[in-house]
Amino acid sequence: MQKLYIHQAISISTQGFWEGFDLPELREDLEEFKAVDPDYKTVIPVMSLRRMSKITKMALMCSLTISKNTELVWDGIIVGTGLGNLADTEKFLTLISATDAGLNSPTAFTQSSHNTLSGQIALQLKNHGYNMTHVQRGFSFENALQDAILQANCGMKNILLGSADEHIPLLDTLGREMKYEERAIVQFGEGASFFQLSADVPSGIFVQDALVKMKSENQLQEIDSFVTKNKVDKKCCLLITTPDMIVDCGMDRKSLGDLVGNYMTNSGIAIHLGCAYLQREEYNHVLILNANSEAGMGLTLFGHE
């Protein structure tokens, strides 16, 4: 496939606001995984902030900061989200229940839809280009990335790619009702990551390959096959897994569970972390293993020049 270069990366997570490829000091002793709010007022009008949910604010903060750093006009805005605007969805459903499914304002519905994120970004940037939201649960970001690769192969030059998911207390309640272990519930997280991608302007870091398997019979075999196909030296490759898991496949390994928590699109910040390691030239490649689904898996390979 054609190389897709990464020029900028910005993330918001429980580790705070992270801009660029310099590896920050990461805390591993966290007891909760709510994203730390940056000063949204630096890029989002104050009057607009009052009406926005946290996921919308995080997505706009990341995307508008990247756009402020460049004078590019985006040919495409592509966002992946596993659960979308949960807080607004809960408000909308509560409103329907309270009014016995009577007449309600359409605003509550429009703000609760998954594509609110990419739509709000386009409105703020006055962008009329390609605009797409991918909602495939744990593989939402991987499918958004594959869409970006397809668009680049079709001639799209500058792409804004992002991921975002938020946490609400209802998720903890549902987790306990479904008999999740308390440790797993504590690690329910949230965050957003956005990237500036370009197919024709080289940078030091690029996407080499991406794969989504909705059903995987043998995870280790799939990883070995993917690595062999791309001629990767395992000794010079870092494996980043989401969530915590033990994978003995001959590569150095780092897990995101204790760093940012678990949410459906945390592979976005995994890519940001991988870019930081590649920038330091500690590895030739970084492989992201998304195992948020019990049945399938996502693999994303990055390299540097």
Specify whether 242 is located in the same domain as 133.
Answer: no
Q: What pLDDT is recorded for position 258? A: 85
Structurally, the chain folds into a number of domains equal to: 2
Specify whether 163 is located in the same domain as 235.
Answer: no
> Where does a domain end: 170, 198, 226?
198
Specify whether 171 is located in the same domain as 289.
Answer: no
Specify whether 173 is located in the same domain as 42.
Answer: yes
Specify whether 180 is located in the same domain as 297.
Answer: no
Specify whether 105 is located in the same domain as 180.
Answer: yes
Specify whether 235 is located in the same domain as 120.
Answer: no
Size of the chain in residues: 305
Taking a C-beta distance cutoff of 8 angstroms, is the pair 202, 5 a contact? Answer: yes
Specify whether 42 is located in the same domain as 190.
Answer: yes
> Where does a domain end: 154, 177, 198?
198
> Where does a domain end: 166, 198, 230?
198
Q: What pLDDT is recorded for position 247? A: 65
User: pLDDT tens, position by position, for the chain (305 residues)?
Assistant: 678 999 999 999 999 999 999 988 898 888 889 999 999 999 998 888 888 999 999 999 999 999 987 778 899 999 999 999 999 999 888 888 888 777 777 777 787 888 899 999 999 999 999 999 999 989 999 999 999 999 999 999 999 999 999 999 999 999 999 999 998 899 999 999 999 999 888 888 999 999 998 887 788 888 999 999 999 999 999 999 886 666 678 899 888 888 999 999 999 999 999 999 999 988 999 999 998 777 788 999 999 98
Q: What pLDDT is recorded for position 243? A: 65
Specify whether 169 is located in the same domain as 299.
Answer: no
Specify whether 142 is located in the same domain as 249.
Answer: no
Residue 132, H or E segment: strand 130-134
CA 3 remoteness from chain centre: 20
Q: What pLDDT is recorded for position 227? A: 94
* Distance in angstroms (rounded) separating the CA atoms of residues 25 and 121: 30
Specify whether 60 is located in the same domain as 187.
Answer: yes
The count of other CB atoms within 10 Å of the CB of residue 224 is: 14
- Whole domain around residue 242: which residue ranges? 205-304
Q: What pLDDT is recorded for position 255? A: 87
Q: Where are the beta strands (DSSP E) in 177-236?
A: 191-198, 205-213
Q: Residue 272 is part of a domain; what is its CATH number?
A: 3.40.47.10
Specify whether 300 is located in the same domain as 155.
Answer: no
Q: What pLDDT is recorded for position 72? A: 83
* Distance in angstroms (rounded) separating the CA atoms of residues 145 and 139: 10
